[in-house]
Structure 1
Amino acid sequence: MSFLKIANLRKSYGATEILKDINLEIEEGGFLVLVGPSGCGKSTLLSTIAGLEPITSGDITINGQSVSDLPPSKRDIAMVFQSYALYPNMTVAGNIAFGMEVRGVPKPEREKAIREVADILQIGHLLDRKPSQLSGGQRQRVAMGRALVRNPQVFLFDEPLSNLDAKLRVDMRTEIKRLHQRMKTTIVYVTHDQIEAMTLATKIAVLKDGILQQFGTPAEIYNKPVNMFVADFMGSPAMNLLTGTVENGGDGLQVALERPDAAPLKLPVVSANGELAAYKGRQVVFGIRPEALTDPDGTDRNAGMIAEGDCHIEVVEPAGSDTFAVTKLGGKEVVARLRADAHIQAGQTARLAFNLDKAVYFDPQTQQRIV
């Protein structure tokens, strides 16, 4: 049974519709990440769950109870903001305890809750400091501690790591994951960072222009994107999206990809002949992730269908654990992810291996996935 459910939710400011018929649900203890580019409506959606923004129509239920008409204080949620929103004149302990104090929680109970949260977040040694004496990561821990002592039904996080530097952001991401595994509380988390979304979520909702594009597990979103927007947005580097032509091959259909100064590269279509039959003689968009395009020695040995082809390498980018190579196919730049020690040089023609088990196909007009 879904614990948090959003049904047919719409949100407008005057004549401008910001959220357009959003339907989502997450089980108790789940970690829902709302992801999308700036202006897609993800923070507005979070604010409607929190009660900070009224909805225009639809419903929001938590644990079977509609909260759409309840004020924030009655929804049993706790929110962690991007800006930390700490009281500068209070100590860490005072910031954590403030909400409990307002609610009239007895002092012994407050002190016990502070100690427990400080242990969880490893900030016990900071309790007597003021926010100005803390690093960005420590301030974020205090903001999380203030939410944790509430012991709410749902935690809401609004881009909590966006003010941190890259290394600290990775460290805090791990802390939030560990915290969720320990507390098993339902979390809704907003970010524009798709790596954060992939690593934290049990379910991801991808939004664009106020419309829910896809809702599913990280694996579903990554491996089976429903349209070209999701395919391009989720993943770093992004999925290669190449224009190709569907043709008859030896044992079925194949997709032909144009190559500069060479005959088209023809790749067999795996287990999608039926769906692509209607596109014979027409163009489709062939999608393949960089890690599914590699040097022949680095291919997945469990793959059912590997096809190889010669490609002119334009750029080589060593990246420590991997080497990225840029070539051109189907009129587009294509990124291949190779082994770190792959022997490949810019300006040369190299043999690349395509893991066709991982290929997806899109309609170039509708931009929806065919298969």
Structure 2
Amino acid sequence: MAFLEINRLHKQYGNVEVLKGVDIAIEEGGFLVLVGPSGCGKSTLLNTIAGLEGITSGEISIDGTVVNDLHPSKRDIAMVFQSYALYPSMSVAENIAFGLEMRGVSKAEREEAIQGVAGMLQIEHLLKRRPGQLSGGQRQRVAMGRALVRDPKLFLFDEPLSNLDAKLRVDMRTEIKRLHQKLGTTIVYVTHDQIEAMTLATQIAVLKDGILQQVGSPDEVYSKPANMFVADFMGSPTMNLIEARIENGGDTLCVEIPQRERSLSLPVPQPPSSLHSYSGKSVVLGIRPEDITDPDGADPKAEHIAQAHCSVEVVEPTGADTFVVTQLGGKEVTGRMRNATGLSVGADVPFAFNMGKIHFFDPATELRIA
């Protein structure tokens, strides 16, 4: 039995259905990230796990106990909020210990617990300060310390890093990952940032309009997206999605991409059986920017590299890499090339396509074909 199980969960506000039959299960010690665009239902789902929101139907169980009707205080969870939710009149130490004090934990035990989490989070020197004297990152550490000190069964994080600047978000992301590896606690974490999801999670659940699109490991969600929404949402830059057509190329299949002058034809190596039924039909070709490179920068381990000349429309140096934009099938397509390629706008140059990493989607259902 999974440690956290969510079965056929529905949540309505009046006539508006916010969560539509969500099913998720994670094992003890897992790090589940709920990700999706604003309004997709991820924070509502987190709040139902916490007991802050009731559910319309379905079942939530934690460590084998159904918690549908349990008060939040009885669920043995700790929550870290986006807004930190610290008491401004209390010191850092008092904020961390407040929950323990309310539960009647002795002063000696509280002091020991405070020192333990303060050392873990490297905030010993802040214990006498008040929240107004702290930076955003320091406040977030205090909020995490208040959750950690309770040693609950389940930690819930609601977009805890969204108020921090870019560099501090990266630093805190590393701290959260390190803490999870050290403590082995079970965490459910909400974010709209797919980079956070990829770097932190052992399991990712992608939501859209209250419907669960896919659940899997970061590699599964990134490398085998269930549909076009997941393919487009996960990854930065996002996957290129190009209108194309499958044609029979004799011994194999080819994917034909319409161009102004002539179609671009790329061979599909070892096409799966599911793709053969699309011969002569339209598909959506998916390929990530890192799988479109300059020929010399192509993956040396790749077994199937196809080359085609394309016109350079935009060059975006980023330091380590250069993102290059061209047009394929009437859409802007981004490739990720080496820093020293020396490409210029308007040049017609060879692009290398890693055909072992391509994806196909049904244009009508938007579901993955192969």
TM-score (norm 2): 0.99
Aligned equivalents of 2:270, 2:367: Cα separation in 1: 18
State the alpha-carbon separation in 1 of the partners of residues 269 and 227 from structure 2. Answer: 19
Task: Please give the residue correspondences for 1:275-286 in structure 2 after superposition, counting only pairs within 5 Å.
Answer: 275-286=274-285
Secondary structure class of the residue paired with 1:169: helix
CA deviation string 1:131-163 (max 9, x = no partner): 010000000000000000110000000000000
Equivalent position SS for 2:277: helix
Counterpart in 1 of 2:98? 98
**Shift in Å at residue 273 of structure 1?**
4.6
Counterpart CA distance in 1 for 2:209 and 2:49 is 19
Give 2:269's aligned residue.
Answer: 270
Aligned pairs for 1:226-245 within 5 A:
226-245=226-245
Partner of 1:222: 222
Distance 1:228 1:76 in 2: 38
Q: SS of the counterpart of 1:33? A: strand
**What residue is the counterpart of 2:36 in the other structure?**
36
Between 1:6-15 and 1:267-276, the stretch displaced more is: 267-276
Write the distance in 2 (CA, Å) between the matches of 1:208 and 1:95. 36
Q: What SS class does the counterpart of residue 150 from structure 2 fall into?
A: coil
Q: Which residue of 2 aligns with 1:298?
A: 297
State which drifts further: 180-189 or 276-285.
Answer: 276-285
Maintained 8 Å contact 1:253/1:273: no
1:256 equivalent in structure 2 = 256
Distance 2:72 2:14 in 1: 23
Matched length = 370
Q: Please list every run of at least 4 consecutive aligned residues from structure 1 whose deviation after the TM superposition is greater than 3 angstroms.
A: none
Provide the C-alpha distance between the structure 1 equivalents of 2:241 and 2:339, rounded to a whole number of angstroms.
24
C-alpha separation in 2, matches of 1:38 and 1:273: 36
Unaligned runs of at least 5 residues, structure 2: none
Which of 117-126 and 268-277 deviates more? 268-277
Distance 1:183 1:18, change over 3 A: same
Query: In 2, are the aligned partners of 1:86 and 1:131 still within 8 Å (CA)?
Result: yes
Tell me the alpha carbon deviations over residues 298-342 of structure 1, each in whole angstroms, 9 at most, x when there is no partner: 111111211111001111110101000000001110000001111
Structure 2 CA distance for aligned equivalents of residues 263 and 359 of structure 1: 21
Query: Cα RMSD between the aligned structures?
Result: 0.8
Three-state SS of the structure 1 residue aligned to 2:206 is strand
- 1:120-131 equivalences in 2 (<5 Å): 120-131=120-131
Partners in 1 of 2:131 and 2:140 — Cα distance? 10
Give per-residue Cα distances to partners, 1:71-95, cap 9 Å, x unaligned: 0000000000000000000000000
Q: Report the Cα offset of residue 259 of structure 1.
A: 2.6
Could you tell me which residue of structure 1 aligns to residue 350 of structure 2? 351
Q: Which residue of 2 aligns with 1:16?
A: 16
Asked if residue 365 in structure 1 is aligned to residue 367 in structure 2, the reply is no
The residue number in structure 1 matching 2:175 is 175
TM-score, normalisation: structure 1:
0.99
Write the distance in 1 (CA, Å) between the matches of 2:272 and 2:262: 23
Q: 1: CA distance between counterparts of 2:103 and 2:292?
A: 58
Structure 2 counterpart of 1:276, which letter?
L
Give the match for residue 317 of structure 2: 318
Indicate if the aligned counterparts of 2:252 and 2:271 stay in contact, CA closer than 8 A: no
**Separation in 1, partners of 2:269, 2:33:** 32
Find the counterpart in structure 2 of residue 133 from structure 1. Answer: 133
Shift of 1:258: 2.0
Report matched runs for 1:63-212 at 5 Å.
Answer: 63-212=63-212
CA contact (8 A) 1:252 1:273 kept: no
Aligned residue identity for 1:337: R
Task: Tell me how far apart the structure 2 counterparts of residues 273 and 189 of structure 1 sit (CA, whole Å).
Answer: 36
**What secondary structure is seen at the aligned counterpart in 1 of 2:322?**
strand
Deviations 1:281-313 (A, max 9, x none): 111000000000000111111112111110011
Q: Which amino acid aligns with 2:259?
A: R
Q: Please tell me whether the aligned partners of residues 9 and 23 of structure 2 are also in contact (alpha carbons under 8 angstroms).
A: yes
**How many angstroms apart in 2 are the aligned matches of 1:150 and 1:62?**
17
Aligned to 1:289: 288
Tell me if structure 2 keeps the 8 A contact 1:323–1:338: yes
- Give 1:15 shift: 1.4
Tell me the residue number matched to 2:340.
Answer: 341
Cα deviation, residue 175, structure 1 = 0.5
